[in-house]
Each structure stands twice: as C-alpha cells, then as structure tokens.
Amino acid sequence: MAVPANKDQVIRDATQPVVSLSHVTLRYGDGPSVITALDDVTLEVAAGERVCVLGANGSGKSTLASVICGLLAPDEGTVSLAGENVLGPSGVDFEAYRRARRQLGLVFQNPDDQIVTSIVEEDVAFGPENLCLEPDEIGRRVARELARVAMTDHARSNPSNLSGGQKQRVAIAGALAMEPRVLVLDEPGALLDVRGRRGIMRVMAELRGLGTTIVHITHFMDEALAADRVVVMDHGRVALDGTPQEVFAHGEKLAGLGLEVPFTAQLAGALRERGLDVPWTCDEAVLRDALVSDSPLGPVPHGEPSLETGPNGEAAAVQVERVSYSYRDADSHKALDDVSFAVAGGSSVAIVGQTGSGKSTLVRMLCALEVPDQGRIVVKGIDTASRKDRRKLHGNVGYVMQHPERQLFAETVLEDVAYGPRNLKLPPDEVQKRCAHALALVGLTGKEEASPFQLSGGQQRLCAIAGVLAMEPDVLVLDEPTAGLDPRGRSQLEHILEDIHAHGVTTIRVTHSMDDAAKAQQVVVLSRSKLLMLGSPQEVFCAAHDKTLHDAGLGLPEPLRWAISLGLDTAPLTIEQLVDDLVATRDASRNEEVG
C-alpha cells in the first residue's frame, strides 16, 4: 500500500523524471537458491528531487541504488536513467548505459569497496580523470571536494591508514568531484561521527539547491525528515511512498517492517500517552511551540555535574597507561597521544570521538593487535608489549571489528561459529554447547546448516558476532557493531550486549551514537588523538559540556538536547526520563496556578 504523494509532487514526477523504473524485477542466483532482490518496482524520481529510501536490512535498498546508478541491469522491466533509455523491451542498451553513467554518482555503503588508489587526492581525482577532464579542472575539483568533506589535511595520506569515517569522506569527495546529475548515497553516515553526519546532510542540501538529484539510503530515521519524499522498501517492493509526514504517520506499519519513527514522533507519542495535547509533527520547532504553549516550562533543580571520577572498588580489567601511537605514512600523524584510563572488571564502557580521533586504533591495541610506541596496555593482568604473553589473551578478549561479516569464511553457519572454540582446543561437546548458546543469543538457532553467505546482511553480522561469543571472552571489544544495521537489528544487538554484560563480561564499544553511549557505565571521549573527557554518562553528557562536545565533532544524547532546547534545567539521557521531566514540569505549573 503506497501513501499517495501530494498533487504538486505527482505532477513534478510525471513531467520531469530523471530516473524512471517501471515494473523492474532483479534476481540473484538461479534454481532453488534464487533471491528476488527487486520485485515489480515502479518508481520515478524528478530532476532536482531529494528522495530518502528506508527499509530493513535485506529489503532491496542497496540493489535499488545499484540499478539507479547503472551498475546493475534488472532482469525485467524498463529503466530510464538521466534521459537515456538503458533497458527496454529489446533488452539492455550498453551504449546508453555508458552515456548515462557519466551523469550518475554512487557512494557505496562500505568505502573500502570504492577506494582504488594509495593516495587520497589521487583517489578523488580518479573519476574526473576517467571523464577526460583537463588537469587544471581536475585539480580544482579535487581541492574543492576535499575541503568540502574536511579532508584537505589528508590529501597525501594513504587511505589504508585512515579511519572508516575518514575513508567514507574520501569516497564522498570522489563521487562529488564527478559533478553527477544524480547522486546516490548508500548509508553515507553509517561510519561517520555526529559532525560528519551533519556535514553530509549540509552537503546534500547544498547540492539539492544546485539542482542535483539526490537519492539517499539511510537507517537514521531523522535524516529522512529533510527529504522531499520518502520511499520505504520491504522484500524488494515499495511498501510506502510519500512525504516524510505521510510516511511517518504509519508508525505501526513501519514497526512491522523493522523500522521506527524519528525521535520527534516518538517523543510526541509518549507525551500524548501522558496526557499532553501534542500534535505529531516532523517540524521540531512546531513541536517545541506546542509543548511550551501547553505548559510554561521552567527550571527543575538538579545537582551540578562533575567530571571527577573515583574508583568503584572493582579490579581493573584493562589499564591504558600514557599510550601514544603514530602511523608510518606520508603524514606520520599521531593516532593516539598520551592516553590513560582504566576499565573496571564487569563494567560497560563506550568510546566516542570524531572520525579520526583514534578510536579504532585504541581498540585494536586493547585486543593486542597493535602495541603502543610509548606507554603500556595491561589486559587481565597481561602486558600486551610481550608477544609471548599476548598469546595468553587468546580466548579471553573477543574483538568484533567494524565489518564483522567480512570474517565469515566457512561453508555453514555452525562451522564458522565453531572455528574459534576449536582453536582453543576445547572438547567437541564443549564446542557444541558453546556454539548452540551463542547462536541462541543472536537468534540464529535453526540456521546451523545454512551458508553464512546466503544470510541477510544483518544475519551475517550476527553470525560473525556469535563466533566471537562462542569463545566466551572475559572482555568483549566492539568497533561500531551497529553501523549499517536497521532499527530492528540495532535493538536486537543492544539486547544481546545487555545480556552479555549482565553475565559479568566487560564490554568496551566504539560508537558514534551518543544515545548508545549514554547507556554505558563509563564514557571515554577522544579528540584529536587525546583523551578529552572520562566519566559516567551523567558527568560527560550535561549542558555544561555541550560546547566542548560540539567543538569535538560530537553532541549530546537526543533527550538531553531536547531538554536544553525546551528550557528544562534537567539532564535526561533517555526519552522516558525526558517525558517524566516534561510531565513533572507541567504538573508543577498547574499546581502553582491552582495555588
């Protein structure tokens, strides 16, 4: 069931489509294992339109992106791209595809799939060079786009030494340097920090103003609010299509598709349940005015936050002592500079910081995959500087990398999950028990004999995580484990991590989500390779540190940001706390009026 778009939108789509798909079907594989990635999709995108595509993992979003960019030709249907009829009743027109691709740009979900050279500026120049532009024009575009994504200082760096978020910026710069008529971005903010995501949203707005057609695929529901139109995919079909207001009005249907509504709508719904007459809106200002008019919001006293932290009585599971580390590249830049902190056994820790602040380097050191140039790291009483002693950590420290699904290699899910426990020389019955428990934890029981490569993207990630969990580590280190997962997948993984932590496992995770960081017991904030803050979520995330965090490319959890915006003097870190504070303020105001 599609949500009807408004009249003006329909007219614009009908008269000026720059992308037109009609009854498109695309399948992967053949025989009994065939997968229908797109199923009878009809979609038009107007010139200059900004369309946001949402959907659960495996819904067909990335396949749709590849079709719109001319990288995949469907099995059935007709396709017109940038004014070229590339697929019709007569089949594929390869020459038309070649002409169309010169006007189409794509930013892949994983930048490693897009970066092709060993120097950043050469990678950005790769596309314009293939367009046979003059050297001066290529140089102008490269400089402009590196500046636009704040990567000028890394122009001569080797991309392999950059963080995942920095690589994503390079990939975006490369796509923009081609000045495409249609730009498709497949999860461009999945690996970016708060500042990076804000920057990408700003770039899309600039390009939209210049007439570039934008197709933006994302799992961040709030990003869809800036679009002209939202398309929701489900099992290869278009499930919803309309303005943001029209699509997000279908909260129950979205929940059934593994999605969620933006924070604004969640807050409005929770407030309505508590008796506040608040309309649903995609406009933050309108919602703020409605709340304020319903009840004058005044200060609610609370204690002053402090950054001082004290010992909690638990023995340290991890000690980081004055650690510094530099990459040996053209920049010879410091990834970490004199960083110190301790992690208590059985605690949960969130590491946050802007792209390139040293987060991934730090967690690789915690797992003894790298050793400091200066200082030392002690994990479970073992100094990682000693190669001989590092072996003692095998099985005690589990590491889930940024793209854990790339660790998959075996023919079946069970074989993949069993690999780690078998390497620990455990008895077969213990291996079987651990594998069964790990697969149950991630919800993959019954998939033991399936090929991991036939699982959905989200299931592949859970399978890789199960392989780490089956080793039953005392310390679990995760680098952006929810990046690229849909809301349902993120929620499932959060529940898994909560269960693991409840069983006494020390969990250390890198995240770009301030809301996720607020759930940890300790927050480590890195900025420009140094330790900026250290403390509990209540100590780190407070109004007094808003500017400091903003200047570091970060931000506050959404509930706290709203509390500040609405004039509250409280520090809620969850939506439930924010609603309680708003209702308490309303009740206090009414009591004053009665008195």
The distance from CA 528 to its chain's CA centroid, rounded to whole angstroms, is 21
Same domain membership, residue 232 and residue 365? no
Q: Specify whether the CB–CB gap between 325 and 335 falls below 8 A.
A: yes
The distance from CA 26 to its chain's CA centroid, rounded to whole angstroms, is 27
> What's the confidence (pLDDT) of residue 292?
59
> What's the confidence (pLDDT) of residue 291?
61
Same domain membership, residue 164 and residue 24? no
In a domain, residue 304? The reply is no
Q: How far is CA 295 from CA 76, 299, 302, in A?
A: 57, 12, 20
Q: Specify whether the CB–CB gap between 48 and 37 falls below 8 A.
A: no
Tokens of residue 271, six digits: 């407030």
- Residues spanned by the domain of 576: 265-294+558-594
Same domain membership, residue 458 and residue 375? yes
Cβ-Cβ contacts under 8 Å for 202 (sequence gap 6 or more): none
3-state helix, strand, coil in the chain (%, to 5): 40, 20, 35
**Domain end (from 179, 211, 228):** 179
Q: How many domains does the chain have?
A: 4
Please name the amino acid found at residue 435. Answer: C
Same domain membership, residue 507 and residue 525? yes
Q: Specify whether the CB–CB gap between 553 and 169 falls below 8 A.
A: no
Angle 391-349-149 from CA coordinates, rounded to 5°? 100
Same domain membership, residue 186 and residue 66? yes
**Domain end (from 131, 156, 179):** 179
Q: How far apart are CA 283 and CA 285, in angstroms?
A: 5
Same domain membership, residue 398 and residue 282? no
DSSP tag of 362: H
Q: What is the CATH number of the domain that holds 438?
A: 3.40.50.300
Q: How far apart are CA 337 and CA 319, in angstroms?
A: 16
Same domain membership, residue 413 and residue 507? yes
In a domain, residue 308? The reply is no
Same domain membership, residue 480 and residue 470? yes
Cβ-Cβ contacts under 8 Å for 71 (sequence gap 6 or more): 106
Q: Specify whether the CB–CB gap between 439 and 447 falls below 8 A.
A: yes
In a domain, residue 226? The reply is yes
Question: Which residues on neighbouring strands pair with residue 41, listed in sequence order?
Answer: 24
Helix (H) or strand (E) holding 249: none
Q: Specify whether the CB–CB gap between 571 and 302 falls below 8 A.
A: yes
The DSSP string of 476-502 is: EEEESTTTT--HHHHHHHHHHHHHHHH
Same domain membership, residue 125 and residue 64? no
Helix (H, G, I), strand (E, B) or coil at 79: strand
Q: Specify whether the CB–CB gap between 17 and 80 falls below 8 A.
A: yes
Q: What per-residue string of b and e applies to 313-328 under the rule 16 or more CB within 10 Å gives b? A: eeebbbbbbebbbbbe
Cβ-Cβ contacts under 8 Å for 565 (sequence gap 6 or more): 284, 288
Q: How far apart are CA 408 and CA 417, in angstroms?
A: 9
Same domain membership, residue 237 and residue 143? no
Same domain membership, residue 201 and residue 96? yes
Q: What torsion, rounded to 10 degrees, do the Cα atoms 83, 87, 88, 93 define?
A: 90
Tokens of residue 371, six digits: 């050793």
Please name the amino acid found at residue 154. Answer: H
In a domain, residue 484? The reply is yes
> What's the confidence (pLDDT) of residue 314?
59
**Which candidate, 375, 340, 343, places its Cα nearest to that of 501?**
343
Helices (H) and strands (E) in the chain, counts: 22, 21
Mean pLDDT by 10 residues, the chain (595 residues): 39 66 92 87 96 92 93 96 94 95 89 90 94 94 93 92 85 92 90 82 88 93 94 96 92 92 88 80 64 46 36 73 83 84 95 91 92 94 88 86 85 95 94 95 91 82 91 93 85 90 94 94 95 95 92 92 87 93 81 62
Q: How far apart are CA 3 and CA 562, in angstroms?
A: 30
In a domain, residue 338? The reply is yes
Q: How far apart are CA 557 and CA 129, in angstroms?
A: 43
In a domain, residue 299? The reply is no
**Domain end (from 535, 551, 567):** 551
> What's the confidence (pLDDT) of residue 414?
96
In a domain, residue 474? The reply is yes
> What's the confidence (pLDDT) of residue 243?
94
Q: Are strands 348-353 and 522-527 parallel, antiparallel or unpaired?
A: parallel
Q: What per-residue string of b and e applies to 454-468 under the rule 16 or more CB within 10 Å gives b? A: ebebbbbbbbbbbbb
Tokens of residue 73, six digits: 């030709």
In a domain, residue 306? The reply is no
Task: Supply φ then ψ for residue 212, to 5 degrees.
Answer: -75, 135
Q: At what angle do helices 558-565 and 575-594 cross, to 10 degrees?
A: 30
Same domain membership, residue 361 and residue 215? no
Cβ-Cβ contacts under 8 Å for 268 (sequence gap 6 or more): 278, 279, 280, 281, 287
> What's the confidence (pLDDT) of residue 490?
87
DSSP tag of 304: P
